[in-house]
Structure 1
């Protein structure tokens, strides 16, 4: 992190700048505040900030005076950003005589300040790289800077000299992801990986370009010349390396391998392609090796699974059918692989299933938090990083939820369906509907609809319509009631809709049916 000193005589301006800096997630932290140039001069000497953001007009000592004194009196030479109002524009131009990095007009625009800070970050990174010595290379800074930008030739020459590596040679950026099913940061694998890599590459003396990333990942810049002796094809070489690291580090790993580049300066391109490979972690058949050359031409799938498969899963869970829901889970995870589901699409599918199951549990007045695997699955991206691990925890949750639902329902789903049919037979003349009946019997409407069709071979709505039309036919034959009266008596709220449904089922209008019966 780089230190920033804020200098402005208006406290609200200072607090606004601090807020922007805290929110823009750049490599800066506030080390102090000053309300005039004289205070700032003292703080610069004490705190040694890399960046000073100063107003051009301040009491005691203004911004230009501060810059002039820093340049002539202090050993520390921070970068300056000057703030000025429109009226001070010509005055602010004088600041460029002192090599001010940027000036920004008030009121400060967040995007403009962020762009200026991005530019300064690159400058500071390169300045830090220039401090590398052969005895003590700043490896973390080197890698992170190379992955952010392409340094100039002078910086690259110093890097290559410090690392004893040629500039014009093939390099590949590899993300090694630990898949130990532990939360990020709980285990430090850096020492074990470093030792293993040194042995494998036979580079016990030379510095490895290895750094720590987020989410249990480590980044490695691999020079091709270190792999030549054992190269029997790129995938085979990385597979051998993966096996060695897993064995010596005692954990499961996956490699996400970027495009090979022909110059150390271009490692930013390899790094970007390795990052894209992370989106293919649920693709099929890669056995822990994910290569940009093989994957990035394949289209990712960003949508959810189809409604039929989702409904089938929920039905089998409600039926507590272990074979049924296991078969559906297999089908879902096969789709993840074959269609190359993006991580976001996988997350949406898992979340959708969880929400549906939680709603069922709550309808039964249960508590989903009593499920052991509920929390595990809720936070699965933090621990379960490949398809096998995710499928395993998903299956455990599904099985536990199915048992819990069956227990809450008392295992009477199959018996209840007969009661439900009798209820429909006795109340079809009323304004009944599937969702309301499901609620009355503590069942999910989708599950009830599928269970009804499975048991009686007809959809709920079709069965209900048949009952109503048969009763309407009886009334048409035996009474002189009007059509709207008959429609209301058999459960239709609208006479026209009744006539339409009658004709659809009987191929004639209610009036034609009555006339036919009278004629007979």
Structure 2
């Protein structure tokens, strides 16, 4: 409960407020009362309440002067709610200038007063949360400054004392990373939401794992990077792990690993740095360790050690033969050979030690190649449900195995979609033909003329149209023309023969016959009925 003080020279007003309002339901507890501003000032300085509810007109020290003196001496910083029997704009304006939270008039309305307290409760809770968050972020802000080398030696000395570290103490910087947990693989949305309630945020899991491993005896400083957690680790923390960073990191990884499908935990440790001032060196080497992620799929650990330098990475393009083979198998819809090509492609990434940037460029080249084929066949790339995650996978934490699963899904979906486009093209692009008819029905068109324009046999075209749309070509064309004629009869005063010509009939008598066949009345009767109904 937030603490409140009531200040009013009328005892009945104070007691009435105590009984009238359900203070606890609004988040408050009245801890003290005062009958004048002078006593209230002393109470505020000693009790430090969260809120003061005060009248304006009081002996010795009025409400506004009380607020002014509290703000000037700065000993306490409560919120103020003014209640007054005087509907005076000058008071309200001055109260607002002092930053008063609310100004309420007597007689007090229970609902209005309760709502004001609830609003104040929400504000106090948010203020408290913001303060706690600021306190938690202090070490994080320090880590940020350290790795960016923005602190001088004196500031470092002060922070080392606060964090119970020696300025020359050996330190490590590590990254903990949760991979393949993002919604990229088509899992059901309901399942994902359910799992989100079961598993706490990754930073919280890291904090818990580290605390359990050291029995809460050591403090670890964590920093949230864009998609991983940084850990500032004193070297003495490795004492109970034989001084081995690899042993420590492996135990952390095991503790963090859950039973979640596909989820993989990776840890990357930089080389030790001598003191806080050199922490940026360990951070830089931890970033170097990140580059070897795709080549430690089995262990999930990349530990940089002075005596064992890592091999150089390759920044080369994908093999052209493999690239063209991938596109060929994809176009031919040979899914088994396509899968084999993808396996060999990813094996090449591993064998030739492709850097993450080289892998990214190789995958991007393949995706662009597929999209060019889709566009060349006049397909719609947005029809590929896997395209968006495939274009944005590098913003997520994916292992090489997770990336391969996603890439395989994209390749298989693209192959099936190209087969559909090929089938549509083989069918003569029936949708394009219908669009052509819709655009040219007023002209002298026929099944033969359209078949000739699209290089198709007219008999085949007639059968395909009926199979696709459930209506014969001539009937469809007639329906279009009659619908257009009805619109002209409704909206214009054109003569019947003029309407017939405009919608594609060369003979007015034939138009009347066909109109009556579909509508069971002549064009003139149709128009006259509209006039009669009007």
* TM-score, length of structure 2 as denominator length: 0.48
Structure of greater Rg: 2
